[in-house]
Structure formats: C-alpha cells, structure tokens
Amino acid sequence: MLNKLITSKAKIKLLTLFLTNPDDRFYYTELHKRLAIHHSLLQRELKLFVEMGLLFTTKEAGIRYYWVNKKFTIYPELKSIIYKTTNLADNLREAVDKIALINIAFICGSVAKNLEDAKSDIDVMIIGDPDMDILTDAVLKAEKMLLREINFTVFDPSEWKQRIAKNDSFVMDVLNNNKIFILGDEDELRRLA
C-alpha cells in the first residue's frame, strides 16, 4: 500500500528504519549495508530528509550519523503510516488472511503514545480468536524486519467485554490512550464493548 503512495523503495526503507527506531543513530555505511540502497540514491534521499527537517545529521571522527527528528511537524502521522502499512501490519494482515479470526488489532503503549525510547518494545493488542501458532510466526517475522521486540496480548471478544464491564484498569488504560490501528478502527473497538 505505501509503495503506491511513496514510489521510491529507498524512501520507504529509510522511513521504516528511522521511524521504527526513533532513538537510534545510524551511520552512513551501516545504512548502505543494512538497506542495500545504491550510494548515490542513499545520499540523495538522506540529503532530502535532512533538508526537510525529518532527519538530523552530524559528523563525528569522520563518520556521518543520521537520526530522526521526533519534533518534526508530521512525525506522529508519518510514524502511524509506517506502522500501519509496513512490516508489522503486513505480517499481521498475512496472519489474518490465513485464519480470519482477528476482529481488531492495534499498537498501543509507548509507541502509540510517542513516548518510546530505544529499549521500548512494541505492544500489540489483538481481539479475536486467532490460531496462536500462525500469529506467533507472523509476529516473529515482523520482529526480525523491524529489529524491535513485539509483545502481543490477545483477548477473545467475550473476555474483552467482561473486562470492560468490570472496569479493568489495564483495558480501560488501553481504551483511553492513543492507538495505531492495524485492523479495524476506534468505532469498531467501541462497538465490541
């Protein structure tokens, strides 16, 4: 989906890496090796992102480093788009296509609240009755691609409703905070209650 909106594969790779690892600094050679982007294209895309203000750069001891500007005007929106359209979302959608028993899936916690740091994992809430083996395989693939740990919690719809009826503090916290929806939306989540 994202490749139709942003036609440069290099831009998608860079955005995905920087926005899913917002506290990491990457040096130029590392970016070239990790993302397999031709030198001239990589230089051009990095220069564009620096000029836009999305990335910061500095040179230390002859090594050029880049990192994301979390105060960039549309940083939260870009991050949300990346999480919805790449790796994690694609792998979860793949699992859903195979099992078709996930009603709603969303990212919550520090990533959704824009409070994550380098040690933060990605918290995913799933409401449905998925095959856990298939779901676990999809999450493991996403972890490898994102280079981030993913913790997922699964509730079947009836348990979700019971937890809401009991005013469960964990569930209420999830409901009342920011979410990045992978499947479904806020309205569907509220209707489940």
Q: What pLDDT, on the 0 to 100 scale, is given for residue 119?
A: 75
Strands (E), the chain: 26-27, 55-60, 63-68, 102-108, 122-128, 150-155, 180-183
Which percentage of the chain shows pLDDT scores above 70?
A: 89
Q: Do residue 111 and residue 64 come from a single domain?
A: no
* Count of domains observed in the chain: 2
3-state secondary structure of 176: helix
Q: Can you read off the two tokens belonging to residue 134?
A: 């298939």
Dump pLDDT digits (tens) for 86-110.
Answer: 656 666 666 666 666 888 989 898 8
Distance, in Å, from the CA atom of 36 to the CA atom of 177, rounded to the nearest integer, reads 37
Q: Is residue 79 part of a domain?
A: no
The structure tokens listed for 46 are 């990095």
The answer to whether residues 60 and 133 belong to one domain is: no
Query: Within 13 Å and on the Cβ side, how many CA atoms surround 184?
Result: 22
Tokens describing residue 11 = 């831009």
Mean pLDDT of 177-192: 88
Q: Same domain for 116 and 183?
A: yes
Domain assignment present for 77: no
In this predicted structure, the answer to whether residue 9 has a pLDDT above a threshold of 90 is no
Task: Report the mean per-residue pLDDT for the chain.
Answer: 86
Residues 42-58 have a mean pLDDT of 95
Question: Quick check: 1 pLDDT over 50?
Answer: no
* Structural domain includes residue 38: yes
Q: What is the pLDDT at residue 49?
A: 95
Average pLDDT (13-35) is 92
- 163 occurs within a structural domain: yes
The confidence band for 142, taking pLDDT boundaries of 50, 70 and 90, is: confident
Helix count (H) and strand count (E) of the chain? 10, 7
Q: Which two tokens stand for residue 90?
A: 């694609």
Would residue 82 count as lying in a domain? no
Same domain? For 110 and 162 the reply is: yes
Q: Which residues form the domain of 13? A: 2-68
- Cα angle vertex 23, ends 145, 29, to 5°? 65
- Choice among 5-9, 30-34, 56-60, 132-136 with the minimum mean pLDDT: 5-9
The verdict on residue 61 lying in a domain is yes
* 181 in any annotated domain: yes
In a shared domain, residues 61 and 94: no
DSSP 3-state of 109: coil
Last residue of a domain, one of 68, 102, 118: 68
Mean pLDDT in residue range 127-132 = 89
User: Same domain, yes or no, for 101 and 174?
Assistant: yes
Residue 79 is classified by DSSP as: H
C-alpha torsion 171→119→80→172, nearest 10: 10
pLDDT, tens digit (0-9, with 9 covering 90-100), for 51-74: 999 999 999 999 999 999 999 999
